[in-house]
Structures are given as structure tokens and as C-alpha cells.
Amino acid sequence: MRYGYFDEEKKEYVITRPDTPAPWVNYLGSPEYGAIVSNNAGGYSFAKSGANGRILRYIFNQFDQPGRYIYLRDNDTKDYWSASWQPVGKDLSEYKSECHHGTAYTKMMADYSGIHSEVRYYVPLGQSYEVWNLKVTNCSDRKREISVTGYAEFTNNSNYEQDQVNLQYSQYITRTVFCGDRVRQMIHANLDGLKDGEEVDNKNVFNRFFGLAGEKVSSWCGDREKFLGRYHGYNNPSGVEAGVLCNEGNYNENSCGALSTVITLEPGESREMAFLAGMKEDNEAAEIIAHYADCEKTCAVELEELISYWHGQLAHFQIRTPSPEFDTMINTWNAYNCFMTFIWSRAASFTYCGLRNGYGYRDTVQDIQGVIHLAPQMALDKIRFMLSAQVDNGGGLPLVKFTHNPGHEDTPDDASYVQETGHPAYRADDALWLFPTVYKYISETGNFAFIDEVIPFANKDEGTVYEHLKRAIDFSMNHLGRHGMPAGLYADWNDCLRLGKDGESTFVALQFYYAMTILKEFAKYKKDEKYIKYLEEKQEQLGKLIQELCWNEDRFIRGFTERGEVIGKRTDPEANMWLNPQSWAVISGLATERQADLALQMVYERLNTEYGAILMDPPYHANAFDGALAVIYNAGTKENAGIFSQSQGWLILAEALCGHGERAFNYFLENAPAAQNDRAEIRQLEPYCYGQFTEGKASPNFGRSHVHWLTGTASTVMVGCVEGILGMRPDFYGLRIAPSIPKEWEKFEISKDFRGCHLHITVKNPGHVEAGCKKLYVNGEELPGNYIPQEKLTGETEIEFYMS
Ligand code: NOJ
């Protein structure tokens, strides 16, 4: 079943049926002011932090309420509805609507009883408040009087948990007053006698507002209970039913901002207005509202700016292939998804309530990879930040606080860090993600100076980027398990594998092997002969160990427990076949061709399903070892044999590196949201963004996906597609082109910005092969092989690549 379609030109997903199987959301705003809005206007907003800056309230795990509601009421018939289908929820045979989720804006259109409404939700570029720009048109042939009411439910405390849980406190610090064109909410208003800079118990007065520009407020309400009325809900607020609000604020209990205006519309006439909300001092709020006096003009300009900004970001990498699903994901939705994970990490969605008040090390370093080809400067700032969260022993801080203070942080070796973050120990993989990320950044930009840039460590000391990477190698070398492979520590990529300090993880061993290959490139650049030798020796030893200990006839095992038991061997009753060691054996360059073929074939036979490859098989149930936490999940779910979608990205890459274009692309399609647009009732999640996992074949809900938007899937699949399928493989000195595509593709094109040049690449495949290079022309000149040295690039570079 399908609920909408992709509008390629506008880069929008258009929802044509509002009764979607789950709230389908969009992200608005920036790190200064974040806002999430669903196709039924449910959602919340926050300044800087989803945990500590919550402004508009949302009740998680409920009915997608409350939200940014706009009610319309015909004052003759007294009938009312909402500009989004919910919360009033009119009969869909009479109520027609469309929701257009675009890049950082959402537009909702509704037609009901001869009235057309259009509301555009956005956060203006560079601003920290939100705009709900509404246009109402009378499409009937009689004069209409319409009451328009905007409703914003404020939290009573900026801290999400305090607002939801500590009611004996949070309900008694809030009050609202009316200021002509706005409801002003004050928190801790009783402290208004304090002088500038003074605080009581770290508290002072602060303000939020909900205002109206473009029309006059006719009535208002600042008290949630008075607006809704006892035994009423968001679908039938008393204030809306009555046609006039009570003109009272709240003093204690729950605040809200509700503003009504009455407009009269001749047939064909339209009126435009803007509701505005944010956390601002009252004088600033007044200025903001005044800025929208001519809201039609102001909002049009702001939306245009927003669209050009985002489309400009996406323009750095665009493709045209025979697959519309692939194009829409790479050109728009996967890319936008990568920007959102880059900005919001795992902080705020409809699944994450915002309480993880910091950046997960591995997640963030991986997220960066998804935007390097689009916005390398943005990536650079975050890479610096993450390097500054590396402890001087080379390990990563498992959680990097939003208040991170490089050079002065406690580490997992300090009880205070453990107490504050809840992370009791180092994880084996965190700092190893730096290698591909830093390498990709330098290869994309040619910014070699970065290698020598000095960056502090998290706790003390500082070092060049090169030194940081060397310390990451030291960390793994200093944490080896009983066979001499990297220890599993508190976890590796898989949160549910506790292998401990004596246990060992094949995945981390492969990452470590790969890290050494990458660092050799840096060492060569630095002409650091001694270190090259060191890496060569250690890598050879490690390679031998992995080959001896981890290859099990047709697959790589998953690792060793603290007691030395093998995990993931062929004869295990459960979890005897794991996905990640197979794909990573290829990505790391360790697997021989024979091993790669066998292991990937086993993945295909044992793990693949129509929605993607499951993480392992069979699920844990009765035979889980002590550190196999996955057993806590229902079989077929999350790490317990779910389709953990991030791993699909590595599988795409591994197959593509082997030149298996058919399989690589098939793996893309299986789990690609856009490719499931007509199976929304199964997938349930938005058909335009990735989810963390899809329920596997052991679940009765096989195919249902979860944990939308904020997932490592976004960046990993992006890398799998761009580097793998499309074959864009920059290195320090140029660009290698090595597509791995479905045979039926005869031609595709890539428009890519690269090191200050613009490349227009046409790949032709008249002989219908999956991979290979027959000829390469750069600006008409034939080059040997499939590699373009940097010197051959010009401002506009025309590249023709013949696969066959
Ligand atoms: C989600 C976590 O955010 C991520 O860090 C982890 O790698 C995956 N789960 C797999 O366990």
C-alpha cells in the first residue's frame, strides 16, 4: 500500500493519505533550534538540547500528540477541523489533504467544506524560533467567517524529564500572560526580583512565546486545561468548540499558547498569517513578531533561502541512473538523512527522547562519513571535535558530552565519568572508526595540512592528527585478548556483545587490520619509515592470527568469549553465522578472493531475506553465552537476528568491492526506504528515511522497521552506495572510479564537486557488465586504468568512463 510519492524536482515527499501506519516526520531547524513535525503536525521543539532545551511538548509512545495545531472553524455552521488531518480527524471522504515534507520545511494542504488551507512549518535559516505560515482561501461561492486558532503546548520546564515526571515541581513554576499579539510564558517568574546574573539554586526567570503576525488576535488562552476543557481532547478543545477562547492565562499547572483570530473571506479571497514560537526574552519575541507584519513576503523570502541552502548542500553530489529509487535516496533523502544524523546524533526523534545528552563516539565518527562528499568543511569541524574527545591513551570517550571541554574531561578510568555518563568502560571499536573517517576526509579534500594539525586529547596533552591516529593503534595494541587479537572490552560495534578484556572480537580485529592499512598511507606521506615497518610487522602478525583463528571453512567467526569459547562457528546451535565479520573481512582487505566469495555466498544463502540480511542466525534463545546480551530481545529483533540496517551498508560495500554489482544493488533495494514505498503497511516507517532495524524472519512482523531517522544506517548505506555501487573512491592523490552496478544499467551520470573542481562523469556500459573499466577519458584525453590523478582535474572536468 502506498501513502505518497516522491517529487524529485522539489525534493519533497508528498503524503497523499494522512492515515499513515506511523507518524511520518520531518526535521526542521539547526543545532540552535531543532523541531520535529509529523505529517499530522505532531512533534516538539527544543533549543540546542532535546533533553535540556525542550520548548514544545510531545508525549512519546502515544498518539502522536500534541503538536503544532491550527484549528479552523466555520462560525456559521460551528463546524471545525484542523489544518493537518489530526487532531480533529475529519472523515477522509470529506477532508482532503496533502503533506509535503521537504528539505527543512513541511507544507500541509487541506480542503474541507470549501476552505483551502496551506500551512508551512519551518525554522528560518540562522534563527532560533519557528514559523507556522498559514494561508486560508475561500474556495466556496459564499462569504465565510472563519475562526483560526493556533495552539502550542509549552513544556513547564526545559528539561524533558522534569516536565514529564517531576510534576510536584514543574507545575508550580509556570505562568502565562497576554501581550497583545502573543502569549508570554514565564518560568520561575517569581525570581523577577533578581539582579542580572543572580540565580537561586541555578535558576532564573526565562521566557517562551507564541505569537501571531499578519492578523489581529481576537481571543487567547494560556492555560492548557482551560483551552482543552475537562474530558475533551486535542480533537475537540472547548475553546475551539466555543468559537472564542477564555482570555485567561495559567498560574501553576500547565501553560499553553492559544491564539484565535476571526477572518472574513469573500469567495476566492485568501488571507495569510504566521504563528511564531520560541524561547526568547519578551522584547525579542515582540521584535520577531513585528518582523512578520508582511508575513506573505517575509515567509516567501525565508522559505526560498532555506530551500536554496539545502538544495545547495545536496547539489555537491547528484546522480542520474536508471533507478528512480536509487536516485531519490542518493540525491535527496539518504543525503538529508545523513545531515540529520550528523546534526542530531541520537539525541532527538520520536524514538529518542533526548536524554542521551551527548555524542556516542562511534556513532558520531561514522555519521561524519555520510556528509564528507557533500559538505567536507562541516565534516572537518566535527572530526576535530571527535579527535578532541579521544583520551590520551588513544581510546574514545564512549559518550562525548554536549558540554565537552577538551583537555579537561574525565575518562572511563574515573569514577566521576562513569557516574555522570553511565558508561562504565571503554569500547573496543570507538577510536578505530577514526581511520576510515579521517582518511575519507583527506582523500575527498586533499587537505594534507590537517595531518599535522595539533588537537588536544580529551583529558590532557595534545598531538597532531597523525599522533592521534597512532595513539588509537596503541590503544588496541594495549588491549589485546588472550590470543593477541584486540579485546572485546565493554562492547564492539554490537552493543549487545560483552566480550570483556580477555575475550576477542573478529570485527574489531578486522577494523584494526584495516586501520593499519590506512595509517600506512599517512606514514608514507610523512615518510615515517620506522613506523611503516612497525605497522607492516604488526599487521602481518594480526593478519595471520585472524586467518588461523577466525576462518571456519566458509565463514569468519564472530570472536571469542572471556573463557576462550568460539562464537559463531558452524556447529554452534545458535548464532553460528554472523553478517559483520563476513563483510568486514572484505572491506578490511584481509579476506582472500576465495574466502570473500565463500563468506559472501554464505551470507546470501543463510542471512539474506527480502528486506535485507539479518545480523546473525539462528537467533539467541537457549544457548546464549554470558556476554550475549542480544538474547534479551525477542527473536528477529534488533541485535538478536533482526535486519540491523547499518550492516546492510557494509554488505553493499563488500559486494561492490568484489565487483558483484548485481548483489550490491539488490542489497541496496531490499532495505531502501524508497523501494518500499508501495509496501508501507509492512515497513510502517517513513519511506524516505532509514531506520535502525527491520524485524527479521524470526519475527511475526517480518519486514516492519523501527527507530527512524537517527541511525548509523544513513551514513553507512550512503558510503556503500557512493564508494561501492557508484565507485567513487578518492585517495590521497586523486580519484579512482570503480562502479559495481546491475548489468542492465547501460549508462549513468554523476555530478560531483571535488577539490574545488566540478566533475561531470558519464559511465557507459554497452556490454552490460557488473564491474570493470575498459576506457577512461578525462577532458578528451585517454588515461590508463581507472584512476584520475589530481593534476588532470580542471575547473569543469568532463569524464567518460566505459565499463565495457
Ligand atoms: C545502536 C547504537 O547507537 C550503535 O552505537 C551500535 O553500534 C548499534 N546500535 C549496534 O549495536
Atom of ligand 1 at shortest distance to CA of 363? 5
Ligand 1 touching residue 138 (CB < 6 A): no
Mean pLDDT of the 432-438 span: 98
d(CA 386, CA 690): 24
- Does the beta carbon of 398 sit less than 6 angstroms from any atom of ligand 1? no
User: Ligand 1 mean position to 614 CA, how many Å?
Assistant: 15
Taking the centre of ligand 1 as the mean of its atom positions, its distance from the CA of residue 615, in whole angstroms, is 12
Q: Side chain identity at 618, as an amino acid letter?
A: P
C-alpha 647 to ligand 1 mean position (Å): 11
Nearest CA to ligand 1 atom 1: 495
Quote the ligand 1 centre to 703 CA distance (angstroms): 20
pLDDT higher than 90, residue 48:
no
Average pLDDT over residues 541-557: 98
Distances, alpha carbon 701 to alpha carbons 224, 531, 559, 779, in Å: 38, 52, 30, 52
- The alpha carbon of 416 and the centre of ligand 1 are apart by a number of angstroms equal to 24
Q: Does ligand 1 come within 6 angstroms of the Cβ of 498?
A: no
What's the rounded mean pLDDT across residues 456-465? 98
Helices (H), 461-526: 465-477, 506-525
Average pLDDT over residues 413-440: 95
Which pLDDT score is estimated for 50?
Answer: 87
- φ and ψ at 478, to 5 degrees? -85, 0
CA-nearest residue for atom 9, ligand 1, is: 495
- Select from 356, 620, 646, 710 the residue to mutate for testing ligand 1; criterion: most ligand atoms less than 8 Å from CB: 646
Closest Cα to atom 7 of ligand 1: 493
Question: Between vectors from CA 502 to CA 595 and to CA 491, what angle results, nearest 5°?
Answer: 75
Q: What strand order describes the sheet that includes 129-138?
A: 4-7, 12-15, 96-101, 105-112, 115-122, 129-138, 270-278, 206-213, 182-187, 174-178
**Is any ligand 1 atom within 6 A of the Cβ of residue 362?**
yes
Quick one: which atom of ligand 1 is closest to the CA of 493? 7
Measured CA to CA, the distance from residue 130 to residue 175 in angstroms comes to: 21
The pLDDT, as a whole number, for residue 49 is 86
Residue with cell 510534576: 167
- Long-range residue pairs from 317-321, CB within 8 A, at least 24 positions apart, any chain: 317/373, 317/374, 317/722, 317/750, 317/751, 317/752, 317/753, 318/750, 318/751, 318/752, 319/726, 319/748, 319/749, 319/750, 319/751, 320/748, 320/749, 321/741, 321/745, 321/748, 321/749
Q: Which protein residue's CA is at the shortest distance from atom 5 of ligand 1?
A: 363
Q: Residues 6 or more apart from 526 whose CB is under 8 A from it?
A: 451, 466
First and final CA of the chain: distance in angstroms?
39
Cβ of residue 346 lying under 6 Å from some atom of ligand 1 = yes
Distances (CA, A) of 214 to 251, 298, 682, 728: 29, 11, 43, 50
Q: Tell which residue, 606, 590, 599, has the closest CA to residue 696.
A: 606
Residue 618's H or E segment, with its range, is none
pLDDT > 70 in the chain, percent? 100
Q: Closest Cα to residue 718, out of 340, 320, 338?
A: 338
CA distance 227 to 236: 10
Mean pLDDT of 267-296: 98
* Tens-digit pLDDT profile for residues 311-352: 999 999 999 999 999 999 999 999 999 999 999 999 899 999
645-677 confidence digits (pLDDT tens): 999 999 999 999 999 999 999 999 999 999 999
Task: Indicate whether residue 296 lines ligand 1 (CB < 6 A).
Answer: no
Please work out whether the CB of residue 639 comes within 6 Å of at least one atom of ligand 1: yes
Taking CA atoms, 522 is separated from 439, 443, 448, 725, 789, in Å, by 9, 11, 10, 26, 18
Instruction: Say if ligand 1 is within 6 A of residue 363 CB.
Output: yes
- Does ligand 1 come within 6 angstroms of the Cβ of 351? no
Confidence at residue 159, expressed as pLDDT on a 0 to 100 scale: 93
- What pLDDT was estimated at residue 356? 76
Active site residue 430: no
Q: Quote the mean pLDDT of the chain.
A: 97
For residue 311, count CB atoms less than 10 angstroms from its CB and return exposed for 0-12, middle for 13-18, buried for 19 or more.
middle
CA of 623 to the centre of ligand 1 (A): 23
Which residue minimizes the CA distance to atom 3 of ligand 1?
363
Q: Which of 432, 493, 507, 584 to mutate to test the pocket of ligand 1 (most atoms within 8 A of CB)?
A: 493
**316 burial via Cβ count (<10 Å: 0-12, 13-18, 19+):** middle
pLDDT digits (tens, 9 = 90+) for 7-33: 999 999 999 999 999 999 999 999 899
Average pLDDT for 711-726:
98
Cell 555537491 -> residue = 316
| Contact call for residues 602 and 576 (beta carbons, < 8 A) | no
The pLDDT value given to residue 354: 84
Pick the catalytic residue from 111, 282, 474, 495. 495
Helix 334-344 × helix 376-387 angle, to 10° = 30
Q: What is the mean pLDDT of residues 102-116?
A: 98
Locate 559 and state its grid cell: 570472536
pLDDT at 217: 98
pLDDT band with cut points at 50, 70 and 90 for residue 215: very high
Cα→Cα distances 391→420, 428, 444, 676, 769, Å: 17, 13, 27, 43, 47
Centre of ligand 1 to C-alpha 738, Å, is 30
Q: Is the CB of 64 under 6 A from ligand 1?
A: no
pLDDT of residue 355: 82
Is residue 634 helix, strand or coil?
A: coil
Contact 94, 18 (CB under 8 A): no
Instruction: Report the separation in Å between the CA atom of 385 and the middle of ligand 1, taken as the mean of its atom positions.
Output: 20
Which one of 495, 629, 692 would you pick to mutate in the ligand 1 pocket, going by the greatest count of ligand atoms within 8 A of its CB?
A: 495
* Comparison of pLDDT for 358 and 303, the residue scoring more: 303
How sure is the predictor about 358, in pLDDT bands with cuts at 50, 70 and 90?
confident
Binding site membership of 494 for ligand 1 (Cβ less than 6 Å): yes
Res. 402: pLDDT tops 90: no
The CA 350 to ligand 1 mean position distance, Å, reads: 17
Q: Count of alpha carbons within 13 Å of 213, Cβ hemisphere only?
A: 24
Query: Does residue 451 surpass a pLDDT of 90?
Result: yes
pLDDT at 177 over 90: yes
**C-alpha separations of 306 from 125, 303, 343, 504, 706 in Å:** 6, 5, 16, 48, 29
Model pLDDT for residues 484-531, shown as the tens digit of each residue: 999 999 999 999 999 999 999 999 999 999 999 999 999 999 999 999
Cell numbers given for 502 = 580477555
Which residue from 447, 435, 505 is spatially nearest to 472, judged by alpha carbons? 435
Tell whether ligand 1 has an atom less than 6 A from the beta carbon of residue 367: no
User: What's the Rg (C-alpha) of the chain?
Assistant: 28
Taking the C-alpha atoms of residue 187 and residue 204, their distance in angstroms, rounded to an integer, is 8
By most ligand atoms within 8 Å of CB, the mutation choice from 344, 363, 432, 558 for ligand 1 is 363
Neighbours of 23 (CB within 10 A): 21
Q: State in Å: Cα 725 to ligand 1 middle.
A: 24
pTM of the model: 0.97
Asked if 104 and 313 touch (Cβ cutoff 8 Å), the reply is no
What percent of the chain has a predicted confidence (pLDDT) above 90?
97
Grid coordinates representing 221? 488562552
Report the amino acid identity of residue 656.
A
The protein residue whose alpha carbon is closest to atom 10 in ligand 1 is 494
Residue 495 Cβ contacting ligand 1 at under 6 Å: yes
